[in-house]
Structure 1
């Protein structure tokens, strides 16, 4: 190092570069970037959005609580409506024959149109008024899965053997009764008879305890909501009406019945709810060659029963003979005019 070049101050032996400043740069004034009050303290900015954020947060909390309450009640209602139907059967079950309809609508080869919801559940079937009873449609279902409309291995197999292609079900309420109407679209009238017989509870064989008889199963309501969750727990009755290649099952129970031992006459509500067959009458008129507009019910028969007895003449305990209500098919059911 030349003696003529002074060393860097403070650190002996280090040569100062020409590019280095003679003095350290003065740091930026602490006043830059903000104002100070007198006395040297920085002036704080006012909280402009604190109150607004508090209000917005409170509103959001209230909205979330309200949404939670609404969702709770909606889900609770859906769970009630989707409750599974009970696997029960009526205390009384009879099979009936529709006569002329069996000839006109004998098979799907003649009547090949599928059933639709508007046909089954609208028009006169939205409200059925008959026998001084007003039934109102509550819930309905039309499906190609016939097995979902019944419970029990015997009932399921019978529908499969009869080539069931559709099952329509509807629940109905009136002031004093509630019930279910079901229609199965089968291949032919023979299949309709076979399914009707398969739904009947078989009698025990000689020496066989009644409790060991296997229940073949029965129809299921489309909903297990109240009061249909009680169907079968009280005294109820059902009619299976063979209607050509369709089988219609109507099942009713008094709203106040809670015991199968409380036997009552249910022929009147059965006759009323049997008008669920109205769409089938319309089809029969379309295919009927004579286009009479009415169905003769003189040939309506009941299968089963004691030999030598006529439908409706069986004596029921607690009833006065001769004052029983008419049974389905024993009186003429008006047929709507063709459209």
Structure 2
């Protein structure tokens, strides 16, 4: 005897599926389901439109990020960087109000020739900016300079006497030692997304994609940035003395030592 077929059971919830408000308007259950399905599709579309509008509205906020990304690919920046905190001997000029005299190009780049070992650097370009943002690229670096109370940026570009090397020294006049130390430390990773510009584009220029090295030095309320490399952008070889090159360009720091002596004559040794 063939057992009776089991009828497909439909839950009471499905049989009684209904929306009271729509039922009162005379819509059948099938019509109600169709209406809900349409509403669901419209809801998804509305959400998509809302999301598109939100993205469009925020688009302007994304533009600087894209601009920064573009700058990173077109602006030269160091491959290697190390930051150094401020030694105690700069304590007399720990704050800018203890050293109020503004920087001048004649003061910072008084020596037109700098020497260290076999390296001889000749000053090629200089520039002094009161608008610190004009001396750098990268939105985050600009913001950090604002936070550090930057009032001046002095830049000097050098070529070696034999034409093999190029170098740049940048001195930033900041609020205090804490600001200078924080800036040079932040560049340990931040130098990849923002760095200083050449004083005069088209003259002494670090090649994009070429190998360069840099260091940051907090000195009281100042931060000095050293940037060095071969003129052809090649990696340094066995005959390249980047240590002497770095020390040579730091000759510009004599201006900062003179300020320490002026603030506290017995605080700093002659250099």
TM-score between both structures, scaled by the size of structure 2: 0.66
Find the aligned partners of 2:135 and 2:92 in 1 and give their Cα distance: 26
The answer (yes or no) to whether the contact 1:250–1:270 under 8 Å persists in 2 is yes
The answer (yes or no) to whether the contact 1:154–1:198 under 8 Å persists in 2 is no
What SS does the corresponding residue of 1:222 show, helix, strand or coil?
coil
**Offset at residue 285 of structure 1 (A):** 1.2
Find the aligned partners of 1:239 and 1:158 in 2 and give their Cα distance: 17
The answer (yes or no) to whether the contact 1:200–1:216 under 8 Å persists in 2 is no
What SS does the corresponding residue of 1:167 show, helix, strand or coil?
strand
Find the aligned partners of 2:116 and 2:244 in 1 and give their Cα distance: 9
Change (3 A) 1:292 1:251: closer
What SS does the corresponding residue of 1:157 show, helix, strand or coil?
helix
| Residue-by-residue CA offset, 1:103-160 (whole Å, 9 max, x unaligned) | 12101121111111211222x2x21122331111111100100001111011100000
Alignment of 1:206-217 (within 5 A): 215-217=192-194
Alignment of 1:3-152 (within 5 A): 87-122=75-110, 124=111, 126-152=112-138
Structure 2's unaligned 5+ residue stretches are: 1-73
Alignment length (residue pairs)? 196
1:184 matched to 2:178? The reply is: no
Counterpart residue number, 2:234:
258
**Offset at residue 261 of structure 1 (A):** 11
TM-score between both structures, scaled by the size of structure 1: 0.53
Counterpart residue number, 2:266:
290
Find the aligned partners of 2:203 and 2:268 in 1 and give their Cα distance: 42
The answer (yes or no) to whether the contact 1:234–1:260 under 8 Å persists in 2 is no
1:156 matched to 2:154? The reply is: no
What SS does the corresponding residue of 2:189 show, helix, strand or coil?
coil
The answer (yes or no) to whether the contact 1:91–1:260 under 8 Å persists in 2 is no
What SS does the corresponding residue of 1:223 show, helix, strand or coil?
coil
Counterpart residue number, 1:11:
none
The answer (yes or no) to whether the contact 2:83–2:187 under 8 Å persists in 1 is no
Counterpart residue number, 2:185:
197
Structure 1 or 2, whichever has the larger Rg, is 1
The answer (yes or no) to whether the contact 1:168–1:183 under 8 Å persists in 2 is yes
Counterpart residue number, 1:228:
205
Counterpart residue number, 2:21:
none
What is the alpha-carbon root mean square deviation over aligned residues?
Answer: 2.5
Counterpart residue number, 2:196:
219
**Offset at residue 270 of structure 1 (A):** 0.7
Structure with higher helix content? 2
Counterpart residue number, 1:36:
none
| Residue-by-residue CA offset, 1:203-230 (whole Å, 9 max, x unaligned) | xxxxxxxxxxx94311111122245151
Change (3 A) 1:292 1:106: closer
Counterpart residue number, 1:243:
219
**Offset at residue 288 of structure 1 (A):** 2.3
Find the aligned partners of 2:106 and 2:204 in 1 and give their Cα distance: 25
